[in-house]
Structure 1
Amino acid sequence: MSRYDLRFVGATSLPSRLSDFELDQYFRLSRTDITALNNNFRTTHRAGAAIFLLFLRNASRSLDLSVPVPRALLRHVGIALGLSTPTLASLRAMYQRPQTLYAHQAWAKSYLGLGDIDQSASSTLEEYLNAHAEEVTSVDELVTSAELWLHQHRYLIPSERAVRDLAFRCYSAAEQAIYRVITTVIHRDTLDRCREAVFKVREGNAYTVLDWLKTPPKGHGPTTLDETLDKISFLKELNVHAWALDHVPLEKQRGYSQHIQHRRPAKSRQIRSIAATIELVFFLRITLFELTDSAMYQSTRRVAGFVRNAYQKAQSAKATTAIAYRDRCLSIRDILQQQNRSAEERLADIATLLSDIGDSPSRSHAAEMRSMLVNDAGRVRTLLKALHSVDFEGVKSDPNLQNLATLRDFYDCRQTELPEDQIVPVKSTWRPLVEATDRKRALQALEVATIMELGKGLRRGSISIPHSLSYRERDRLLIDPVEWGQERARHLAMLNLPEHPHEFLASLLNTIKAGLAAVSEAMQDEMLHIDDAGLLHLQRLEALPEEPEPRKMIGLMFRQIGDVQLPELMLEVDAHTNFSEILLGRRAYTEQELIALYAALIAHGTEIDAKGVASMTPQLDPVEVNMAMRTLETQGRLRSANDRIVDFQMRHEIAKHWGSGESASSDMMSLDASRHLWNARVDPRRRTHAVGIYTHVHDRHGIIYDQPIVLNERQAGAAIEGVVNYNDSSDRVRLQLLSVDTHGYTNVAMAISKLLGFDLCPRLRNLSERKLYLPRRMEGPTDLKRALANEVSLTAIRKGWDQLLRLVASIRSGRVSATVALQRFGSAAQGDPVHRAADHLGKLLRTLYLCDYMTNVEFRREIHTILNRGESVHQLQRAVYYGRVPPERGRRTNEMIAISGSHVLLTNLVIAWNTHKMQETVDRWQRAKQPVEETWLRRIGPAHFSHINFRGTFKFSVGRYADALLQPRTTPLRDRA
């Protein structure tokens, strides 16, 4: 069932305003319904019975009899039944006899198959909530889960108090179980020591250790890294890294950690309960994990800085050498032109001029860079010593791990030279520097070689860090080997993949043969040609004929829609979708709480900060905005709210003209940021510091997934992660095609995406990537020979097939994210059997894709259209967030996720509101017999923003939508049959 379909579940009344769209989606009477009503009720009571039926179907709870039924619903029911209904009435007023009212309510329950929950079902529900309580982070979420379970299993939802009491009991039981595990793993004295250490005031400072731990990294310089490593050392002194709490779900740990993160330390110190202990333990543990990841990222940035500095010095040295070479040549020419001197004298002068040139051959640019890095070994040594507090683990035979241990021993002994007889396993490129006669310089070369290889080892998984989230041991990331052996068949059935690769490869190769034949035929038709370098060139796509009608129609449509203020837009969409209920975990109690939530969305999703939004919103204090901003950092809520808005937008009939629902595009949009932000990098296009937001845009325009990422890194993992997240819901049309640009794909990514059940379709920028790869012994058409590369090893695919399936199953089951998986098994893992199998399989899949791309003009046009649609949504995103991320924001991972999610939610609000208004306009035109061609509707879209005022004074007229958005102050007693 769609997330949008669930918005009325558990409600006791309806909002006074219901749009025609909502009536059509929720309150449509089928022919069977109308027949049953006509056969069972007299004309005078038919409308009341119909309202009972419609409300119970949507809410699974009895309607409050004293609340007036919405006028639009009364009119809608009257039209459907052919009756004259009152314009304003409650159900109690529509019935003269209470017995008749209760009888009709009982009939509606029976007709819908709804029954009161019995003891057996109650026990089943309690078991479900006990299991679900291990994942959720609040009682409110558990209440919602209970209501949804009852709705889906055709039970009437009991009173709110009964459901909440059950949810609280299950949540408390889960909390008690976690507390028992904690006290088993951690001694009581250790817990007391941790509490005392965290809440005491730091020496030389006016704030507590807890404040210090909560402070995110400020920048990416040495001072920030040193402070991060100091925090790691402090937490390890408390033995946090040794707490074996992995079986508690990570999201549950994050939820408890956020509770203490969002609370003032003085308030946390006053609380002494089981929950407070759990919060403290998981705060320390999650903080250690995140600080470790942050330290590794900052270290990588510093190493990149060393390399960049060495590159610049090597370039400068190369330029100096070139100038010196030219000066020598000019001097030799001058000597040769001195005709008044003898040849012997001139040769002697030339020999003197060249006497300082050594016999050693000239070095490559890379060798010159390595030499420059060794000259800068002082900073490298400082970094290696700082990383002494990090526990690096891995395969004992890993050469880099051995070198790390060797260097640590040298530092402990204050050794400054590499012993002559010391054998160190380094790459051949570093061997000449490590074996140099200058043993001090040899030690410096070993340090540089070690720090350069450390990052690669972490990325490919040969080196791991146990107290980390991103760099854990590979077997902890993937499905356990024993579990994989037992559950392999079940996972393969879910993935719809064969157990052995023969069947998969045979079908793939047959399809490739047909594709190559089509390419050969296209060459004969001069649709493409191969140049002397063996690269394929395509003819440009012809532009579609200009159609003025859609352009005129969209202009007229938005003139009729008119201008709108952002607050009014947010309120109207919230009234249709109740996304605020998801963000808060319940309906807002007061107007002030709801307005603060909207302000927090604006503060996170635009460049305006909390103080700025509060000053633009009457009667709102910055403290209220800051508290609401922390609420938005709760894991998963922004994603769920975005899903509900996108579901609402896609339900409109006009959206079905824009796409089939089976394709999407993904790309990164950069947000300008301060250069002092630790995770900001330089955007290569605009040459400004920025952070990235990676978004997936559906072919019906809505943004279905977002993820903050770091600029200048491969985006293939994020591209796959978005599709896996979207396809994970069984109530949607699954995505079959994802269009990306060159940065969003690799050969490994193409293989993993195909095994996950969808096609990764890149628009390739480089012609060199358009080679057609085939197995080593496979023959292709003769006229394509120059473009073919027989480099694919089927043996490599077969050898790595089982572990490749294990990797894919781990992604599909949510054990590891695609982003982390692609980092571990990407280019850094070259030589690994899994990477080799995925790389070779990806080359075959890329060949098949290129055959379709080159020969099917409509397919190529579709890829470009989907990507261009994503670019149009990016323009809207930039209108929403046109400034820069200030240095004090985006430092914490949760805050960056909240910025990304809030920004996307505001964008989706605009798209959904535009779609809704466009649908209303089209319906109005059709009722007026004004011609609207379907081909015109396909050529327009909802990513317009010129009619929306995103700034100014924010006035939220909550009163107009209070009955739809606010929780009633008192829960009325409901009449029950």
Structure 2
Amino acid sequence: MTSIDRTAYPKFKQFPDPKELAELYTPTAAEIKFVKSKTKSHEGLLRLMVMLKSFQRLGYFPHPEQIPIAVIKHLRSCLKLQDSVKAIPSERQRHTYKNIIREYLGVKQYDKTGQRLIATIVAQAAQIKDHPADLINVAIEELVKERYELPAFSTLDRLIRHIRSMVNNRLFALCSQGLSTTEQTYLDKLLVVIDNAEEDENATLNLLKSPPKSAKLNGMKLLQNKFDMLMTFGDAKRLLQNITPTKVRHFAAYARTLDIAEFQDINLPKRRTLLLCLLYEAQIKTRDYLVEMFIKRILKIQNNAKQRLQELRDKHLVETSELLATLGQVLQASKQAKETQDNAVFGEQVQSILDEHGGAELLMQKLDEIAAYNTNNYLPLMWRFYAANRKALFSLVRSLDILSTSADESVIEALKFVLDNEHKRAKYLPCDIDLDFISNNWRALVVAEIDGADVLVRQQLEICIFFHLAAEFKTGDACVVGSESYGDFREQLLSPVECEPLIEEYCCLIGFPANPADFVEHLRFCFTQVAEEVDKICAVDKQFTINKEGEPVLKKVPSLTQLPEVDLLESKIRVLMPDRSILDILCNVEHWLNWTRHFGLLSGSEAKISEPGERYIFTTFGYGCNLGPNQMARHSGGMVTAHEISYTNRRHVSAAKIEAAIRDIINAYNRFTLPNCWGTGKKAAADGSKFEIYENNLHSEYHIRYGGYGGIAYHHVSDKYIALFTHFIACGVWEAVHILDGLLKNTSDIQPDTLHADTQGQSGPVFAISYLLGIKLMPRIRNWQDLTFVRPSTDVSYQHIEPLFKGVVNWSLIQTHWSDMMRVVLSIKAGKVMPSTLLRKLNSYSRKNRLYQAFQELGKVVRTMFLLDYISNVALRREITAVTNVVEMYNGFLDWVFFGKQGVITENDPIEQEKRLKYLDLVASAVILQNTVDMSLAIQKLMSQGEVIHKRHLAALSPYLTRHIKRYGDYVVNLRNVPEPLEVAINLPPEIFEM
């Protein structure tokens, strides 16, 4: 049976608060009049009114014993009846009153017609959705819409499960029947355990689930072998045409949680369909991983060549110094000869100097050697590092179906030429391809002249084309068929026909014109106005000046000093806050919010484990604090085993379920008045923090900025101090790619419209997409002088800020591609594509992609307006610093919470790595909520004792207090300790906000 807590099926709160009683259960005059017209006795009056208000609240008639006593007391009070008047009717009265209420409210009794109605709707929804709770919600919505009384939850659950089972079984049968004998054998062999060497020749279930290794040569070969094994089945997509993509993803996620023994217990059609979906997902992901490895291998070859160039420079440093000394002697001789006007003596002196240093021929040889390495051209050195990777790179590229995403297919044609000549051993190849896309440095290496005709140097050509192919993958100019991250992103966008009716409404919502010409004119007007205002401000306020060297200088914002009253207030509050363990905190939050209701089997059934709440709390604590299942079990006093924790994590918890639990905590936190002292909720900051992970996985990467191997947890933190969303990305990933995703994926009640970030958020395309999405991007920029300020037109000049401008806006480019940019933005808003998918392709220059250039041009305009405001507005710079400091404080707080295993994530699977960070955010959010509760209660107590507390002092505090929290010792979950209700602490005395 599905857990009712995971559905929208209405039910009573066990202890409704006075506000809820007043709003939901107070009868109107018309209702009182109606009830009095249908019954004469006091008992009948109360009973009919209780049933009426209960039905209005729930949509069905609950059993009398399920109605909270508080509701009955409230209605008795509203009707001015004595406590002795009983509220429980007889069965006959209930039957009569039900009919009266249905007629009064115009509601139909649930019958065969209603059953057929929701059966039809749910059968359609089951083609897309799979979780029973989601299907139950669809049925409830339809019944309410059609004015039907809701049936009992068990009745609804049985019907939904029956329909879902019928739809799924039909899909399983269709999919299984479409398999050939060879394909059936392939899928069946996935579950066969082989102990001998033949295991390497056949795909297995573990192979399908296996994460990629690091992007070393051996890791790339292993991944290539895996892909070859998977593709011996053929492309699995063709066999899944009858199943929607969302359903395929769900089946694949479910299959991923099962082991071989569990698969054996499933009937054959369903088993094969689940395996096919898992295989299809593995094929897609492996293509993504292969492209990532290809890009990383080319980058590694490039970096090795750069490093080798530097080593050669250092090696020839002595010879360079000797040549410079020789040149100095020649120049000195020239100076003396100029004074004496004796050229013959000068010639003899020069020859003597040259002979002294080995002669002209030796010096010329040294000069040639040094000249070869005394530039930034590392390209000639790449072959040395490419040679060992050559075979693997060719194999990788051949296995992928690579296409161009633009009309310019020169790189793809050159790639085909290189592949066709892979086994040639000749030094030169005929110059039969277009190489206009390569740079002059590459052309000097690739193109040679033999007997007056141009030929191609085969080895250098291979490196050159692979080098450019990696760049094409990164910019999106090349795509891989059947890939997710590197597919043709245009296929994910809404069609122009779908966009057309949405543009006007969206533009009206955001606040700019709905056609290209007016949009450009509106933006030009805003830009001109901002520039003129800032020019006037800079005439009076000398925050921005030009130094003697002509460089712009911005005065540093003085930091605000901490008031001594704040430290005193914090110490008083801390004294009143009780000591708690993290497990106690998780238990308290469970009592308040029942956040563990989101966890459970992917099938949607009730968990078949004893005390599931306790198990989920142990699992969350074990992974969220990085203890792991083994250490968690050792310190639990025998209450849980390591296998139980790992099994619960694998079968009952997903990243989406953890996000749902976090959302509940954020929404509860947002109800408190104390966080309003810290922020408005309209601002957020994005920043990354490094977490160490093992080297042998694709996410792990050495990064000079952070030092060591690891991955980046990229957090979006509200100005109210609580994290809204977290991504886990590789160190080498451009962080700004994910800067907007967090806001769009955040579904909590806190919805910021202003986003602060560090220097990585200064990219032009990021500014452009943010602007079109209605998000104010305000990053903290260190080297702002290095960014390009553009002016509105060539005929505009300014008195005080003129030296800043280095270019002019290309308005025609923005106007020409306005419709294409709006198509991208509307697709993002529709959930068809995430900003990171596009920004990953827009983060570097593409000569082919005019859409990139349009976004870049729009971004320059928006960024220039922001920078002008930035240099002229001290309050803005202080605000940006303050909010970005919040996310840095949050990073430090996470380090404290994630105390196990010295903060190292020991999981190599990217999916599990992501879950570790989600668990951590869940624990951190629970601690923040508990701290807010305890701080609010302490503040209330202090004020009740006559303490005067000012809002400005509270604003300097934060919920990241840890001194009173115990992290170590025996870990025991005790859900029998019931904390005080949240409502006690939510509101602070109004006097605070008057001070």
Report the equivalent of 2:188: 196
- Confirm or deny that 1:736 pairs with 2:746: no
Corresponding residue for 2:523? 508
The answer to whether the aligner puts 1:402 opposite 2:413 as a matched pair is: yes
Secondary structure of the 1:671 match is strand
Task: Kindly provide the amino acid, as one letter, of the partner of residue 168 in structure 2.
Answer: E
1:895 aligns with 2:912: yes
Query: Residues 285-316 of structure 1, C-alpha deviation per residue, up to 9 Å, x if partnerless?
Result: 10111111122222222222212211111001
2:544 matches 1:528: yes
2:649 equivalent among 613, 620, 629: 629
Residue among 573, 594, 618 paired with 2:589? 573
- Specify the code of the residue in structure 2 equivalent to 1:508: L
Unaligned ranges ≥5, structure 1: 965-977
| 2:599 maps to 1:599 | no
RMSD after superposition: 4.1
CA distance in 2, matches of 1:642, 1:837: 38
Match of 2:987 in 1: none
Paired residues in the alignment total 942
Q: Output the CA distance in 2 between the equivalents of 1:546 and 1:758.
A: 32
CA distance in 1, matches of 2:156, 2:910: 34
1:572 match: secondary structure = helix
Task: Provide Cα deviations, 1:855-875, integer angstroms capped at 9, x if missing partner.
Answer: 333333332222222222222
1:747–1:840 contact (8 Å) kept in structure 2: yes
- Match of residue 391 from structure 1: 401
Is 1:318 aligned to 2:313, yes or no? yes
Equivalence for 1:540: 556
Q: Are the counterparts in 2 of residues 34 and 81 from structure 1 also a CA contact under 8 Å?
A: no
Q: Specify whether residues 704 and 400 from structure 1 end up closer, same or farther in structure 2 by C-alpha distance, changes over 3 A only.
A: same
Tell me if 1:418 matches 2:428: yes
1:779 correspondence with 2:796: yes
Distance 1:50 1:155, change over 3 A: same
Distance 1:491 1:504 in 2: 13
Residues 679-694 of structure 1: pairs in structure 2 closer than 5 A? 679-694=699-714
CA contact (8 A) 2:702 2:708 kept: yes
Task: Name the residue aligned to 1:276.
Answer: 271
Asked whether 1:376 is paired with 2:369, we answer: no
Q: Is the 8 A contact 1:534 1:787 kept in 2?
A: no
The percentage of counterpart residues that share the same residue type is 18
TM-score of the superposed pair, with normalisation by structure 1: 0.86
Q: Is the 8 A contact 1:218 1:224 kept in 2?
A: yes
Aligned partner of 1:871: which letter? E
Residue 272 and residue 659 in structure 1: after superposition, are their counterparts in 2 closer, same or farther (change >3 A)? same
Written as runs of structure 1 = structure 2, the 5 A alignment for 1:783-932 is 783-883=800-900, 889-923=906-940, 931-932=948-949
- Counterpart Cα distance in 2 of 1:607 and 1:164: 37
Establish whether residue 257 from structure 1 lines up as the match of residue 252 from structure 2.
Answer: yes
User: What letter matches 1:527 in structure 2?
Assistant: Q
Which range moved further: 642-651 or 24-33? 24-33
User: The residue matched to 1:695 in structure 2 has which SS?
Assistant: strand
Q: Is the 8 A contact 2:285 2:483 kept in 1?
A: yes
Q: Counterparts of 1:367 and 1:538 in 2: how far apart (Å)?
A: 33
The answer to whether residue 221 in structure 2 is matched with residue 226 in structure 1 is: yes
Quote the offset at 1:267 in angstroms. Answer: 2.9
* CA displacement, residues 722-758 of structure 1 (integer Å, 9 cap, x when unaligned): 22223xx6x9564321111111341111111111121
What is the CA distance between 1:248 and its match in structure 2?
4.7
DSSP-derived class of the 2:684 partner:
strand
Amino acid paired to 1:427? S
3-state DSSP of counterpart to 1:838: helix
- Taking the aligned partners of 2:688 and 2:263, their CA distance within structure 1 comes to 39
Contact 1:10 1:60 in 2 (8 A): no
8 Å Cα contact 1:574/1:580 also seen in 2 = yes
1:954 Cα shift?
1.8
| 1:476 partnered with 2:495 | no
Deviation per CA, 1:76-109: give whole Å up to 9, x if none: 99999999979xxxx9x86486677788889998
Is the partner of 1:537 in helix, strand or coil? Answer: strand
Q: Report the Cα distance in structure 1 between the residues aligned to 2:79 and 2:373, rounded to whole angstroms.
A: 86
Question: For 1:759-779, what per-residue CA distance to the aligned partner results, in whole angstroms no more than 9, with x for missing partners?
Answer: 111111113245532234351
Matched, 1:614 2:624: no
Change (3 A) 1:153 1:949: farther
Using the TM superposition, give the Cα deviation of residue 467 of structure 1 relative to its aligned residue in structure 2, in angstroms: 2.0
Tell me the amino acid that sits aligned with residue 311 of structure 1: K
Q: Return the alpha-carbon distance in structure 1 between the equivalents of residues 828 and 928 of structure 2.
A: 31
- SS across alignment from 2:254: helix
Write out per-residue CA displacement over residues 835-889 of structure 1, whole angstroms, 9 at most, x where no aligned residue. 1111111111112222333333333333222222222222221112145699884
Which residue in 1 is equivalent to 2:580? 564
Q: The residue matched to 1:552 in structure 2 has which SS?
A: helix
Aligned with 1:356: secondary structure?
helix
Is the contact made by 1:603 and 1:610 (CA closer than 8 Å) also made in structure 2?
yes
In structure 2, give the amino acid aligned to 1:23.
D
Kindly indicate whether the alpha-carbon contact (under 8 Å) linking 1:742 and 1:764 is maintained by their aligned counterparts in 2.
yes
Q: Which one of 947, 962, 973 corresponds to residue 956 of structure 1?
A: 973
Deviation at 1:813, TM superposition (A): 0.9
Contact kept, 8 Å, 1:674 with 1:884, in 2: the verdict is no
Is 1:432 matched up with 2:451?
no
- Offset at residue 481 of structure 1 (A): 4.9
* Change beyond 3 A, Cα 1:744–1:278: farther
The structure with the larger Rg is 2
Judged with a 3 Å threshold, the aligned counterparts in structure 2 of structure 1 residues 10 and 472 are, in CA distance, closer, same or farther, namely same
Which ranges of structure 2 fall in alignment gaps of 5 or more residues?
334-344, 982-995
Structure 2 CA distance for partners of 1:732 and 1:421, relative to 1, 3 Å: closer
CA distance in 2, matches of 1:541, 1:860: 7
2:343 is the alignment partner of 1:362: no
Alpha carbons of structure 1 residues 68 and 355: separation in structure 2 relative to 1, 3 Å: closer
Shift of 1:459: 2.0
> How many angstroms does 1:631 deviate by?
3.4
Aligned with 1:697 (options 705, 712, 717): 717
Pick which of 465-474 and 422-431 moved more: 422-431
**Structure 1 residues 280-295: aligned runs within 5 Å:** 280-295=275-290
Q: For residue 429 of structure 1, give the secondary structure of its aligned residue in structure 2.
A: helix
Residues in 2 aligned to 1:149 and 1:573: alpha-carbon distance in whole angstroms: 33
Distance in 2 (CA, whole Å) between partners of 1:31 and 1:264 is 51
CA contact (8 A) 1:7 1:578 kept: no
How do residues 48-87 of structure 1 correspond to structure 2 at under 5 angstroms? Answer: 60=59, 62-66=61-65, 69=68
The corresponding residue for 1:10 is 9
Pair 1:168 & 2:161 matched: yes
- Structure with more contact order per residue of length (Cα contacts < 8 Å, sep ≥ 6): 1
Q: Which amino acid in structure 1 is aligned with residue 390 of structure 2? A: R
SS at match of 2:698: coil
- Matched residue type, 1:418: Y
- CA 1:481 to 1:916, structure 2 compared with 1: closer, same or farther past 3 Å? same
Contact 2:60 2:150 in 1 (8 A): yes
Distance across 2 between alignment mates of 1:940 and 1:52: 48
Query: 1:168 is aligned with what amino acid?
Result: R
2:735 corresponds in structure 1 to 715
Structure-2 change in CA distance of 1:608 and 1:248 (3 Å): same
Query: Is it true that 1:665 corresponds to 2:685 in the alignment?
Result: yes
The one-letter code matched in structure 2 to 1:274 is: P
C-alpha contact 1:374 1:441 (8 A) present in aligned 2: no
Measure how far apart 1:540 and its partner are: 2.9
CA distance in 1 between partners of 2:6 and 2:370 (Å): 75
Distance 1:687 1:37 in 2: 70
Change (3 A) 1:137 1:693: farther
